[in-house]
Amino acid sequence: MKFFRYMLILLALILSNCSSDDKSSGSGDATTSAGKEGSIRSYNLSVEQQQAGKRFACDTLSLKEFILNNYPAGTYLVDFDRTYTTNVPKAAVVYYKNQNATYIFGVVAKSKQGERFIETKNVTGYSSSFINLDSTKLGTAFFWLTLFECNQDGSFNVIWESEVPIHGGFNKITINNWRPKNCMYIALNYMDGIISGNRSYNFYLVNGLKNPPHLLETYEGLMHKRTMANINNDKFPDYFEYRFSEGNIITIIDSIPFLWDTVKRLYISLVNKRWFRHY
């Protein structure tokens, strides 16, 4: 009995020491501990910087460092989707020069507070598009298109950021021109396995580069389609939403026009005023 009692006391002491060690080192792992997550990202970034070739002011590694130092834990500059598994990931940024100034459009993903930190591999590509059904197990990502300005000293300013209403499936970012109004817009393309297709969130710079953009969503899937249009010839893009007939052959049976209402700030259908969309 004495031996058994001594063993219980020894076991209690060991457990107590383990508990103290856990508390002193900080609770949680890198998916929930801001300190551990930051340390790992800082180390990985330092390795990237050491292995990088020619550097320049406000390059992608500098932008990653800016985000690491100035954004909440769990915020990342995401990568393009990999066409092949052996591809080296490329950061989702587009550089743009205007009047001797350099700007960077970047896709930033922020983790939802109270959940585990996201991992960029879990929010990029076709398989991650299903995360919109149940994203809490891997964390919830909030995507933001952000315009950064590069200063002469190599530092950054955030000009604006505009939220993207989707949680996963990121594919690529491109700069485009809307020909009817010669208006630049930034397209963020996402894979969408749920509709068997893809979605594009198009940010139109209708009020200039430094003002928040106007959002229009387009998409194309097995039985889903929306295309941009110029219906009423104002500065805001419009769109057609298509209806499908499902039978032996899937066919388009109708197209419904939607126009941007500048007062209500909604897309409203010409067919029925009660049909509206936010973007």
Tell how strand 197-204 and strand 156-164 pair up: unpaired
What whole-number percentage of the chain has pLDDT above 70? 85
Kindly give, in sequence order, each residue whose CB lies less than 8 Å from that of residue 251, ignoring residues fewer than 6 positions away. Answer: 244, 245
Q: Once rounded to an integer, what is the mean pLDDT over residues 53-67?
A: 93
pLDDT, tens digit (0-9, with 9 covering 90-100), for 159-186:
999 999 999 999 999 999 999 999 999 9
Which candidate, 116, 55, 64, 56, places its Cα nearest to that of 89? 64
Phi and psi based region of residue 100 (left: phi greater than 0; alpha: psi -120 to 50; beta: remaining): left
pTM equals 0.85
Residue 48 pLDDT = 83
Site of tokens 């010839």: 233
Altogether, the residues listed in the chain come to a count of: 279
Residue-wise over 212-251: b if at least 16 C-beta within 10 A, else e?
ebbbbbbbbbeebbbebbeeeeeebbbbbbeeeeeeeeee
Cβ-based neighbours of 50, under 8 Å, separated by 6 or more: none
Task: Inform me whether the pLDDT recorded for 116 exceeds 80.
Answer: yes
Mean pLDDT of all residues belonging to the chain: 87
Count the neighbouring beta carbons within 10 Å of the beta carbon of residue 271: 13
DSSP at 56: -
Higher per-residue pLDDT: 116 or 26: 116
Residue 177 neighbours by CB distance under 10 Å: 9
Q: Is the dihedral of CA 74, 79, 85, 87 positive or negative?
A: negative
**Residues 77/92, Cβ–Cβ less than 8 Å:** yes
pLDDT at 40 (0 to 100): 85
Comparing 180 with 99, the larger pLDDT belongs to: 180
Q: Is residue 84 very low, low, confident or very high in pLDDT (cuts 50, 70, 90)? A: low
Kindly state the helix (H) or strand (E) to which residue 111 belongs, with its residue range: strand 101-111
Q: Has residue 4 got a pLDDT over 60?
A: no
Least Cα distance to 206 among 168, 233, 236 occurs for 236
Predicted local confidence at residue 97, as pLDDT:
93
Angstrom CA distances, 139 to 111, 112, 115, 167, stand at 7, 7, 6, 10
For residues 264 and 255, give the distance between their C-alpha atoms in angstroms, rounded to a whole number: 23
Q: Distance of CA 129 to CAs 27, 84, 148, Å?
A: 31, 17, 27
